[in-house]
Amino acid sequence: MRSTQTCPKCSRRKFLVSNELRQPNQHSVNGTHPIVAVTLNYEPAKTFLGSGNRPELGRFETWICLACGYTELYAHGLPVNVEAIAEQHPDQLRVVDAEPPERGPYR
């Protein structure tokens, strides 16, 4: 929806956009916190985003069609080296490359 500016379900073009999807903080009366795109299990030997913190990667931007309610989430704020991070945590993350292989001049 973000790139076409058209809802794939109803073809309408009016959206509610939230730059950061948030949820209530259960330990606060009126506090909220962002929903993280990727949260890794804490492994002290592999911590790369600060000591003692659970590694969290990216946040969600939300696009909601005002006509039918269809919703799409887009991750933003992912680190540049996200593929290297996935290689360090193969039990938790994987990168799927669906691009067709490059062809040479011969078949």
Go through 10-36 and write b for each residue having 16 or more CB atoms within 10 A of its CB, e for each that does not: eeeeebeeeeebeeeeeeeeeeeeeeb
Spatial CA neighbour of 68 closest among 22, 3, 15, 5: 15
Of 11-15, 25-29, 36-40, 100-104, where does the model show the most confidence? 11-15
Residues 47-95: tens digit of each pLDDT: 455 445 678 899 999 999 999 999 999 999 999 999 999 999 999 999 9
Q: How high is the pLDDT of residue 17?
A: 97
68 and 15 Cβ atoms separated by less than 8 Å: no
Q: What is the pTM of this model?
A: 0.71
**pLDDT confidence bin for 45, thresholds 50/70/90:** low
Tens-place pLDDT, residues 15-36 = 999 999 999 988 888 899 899 9
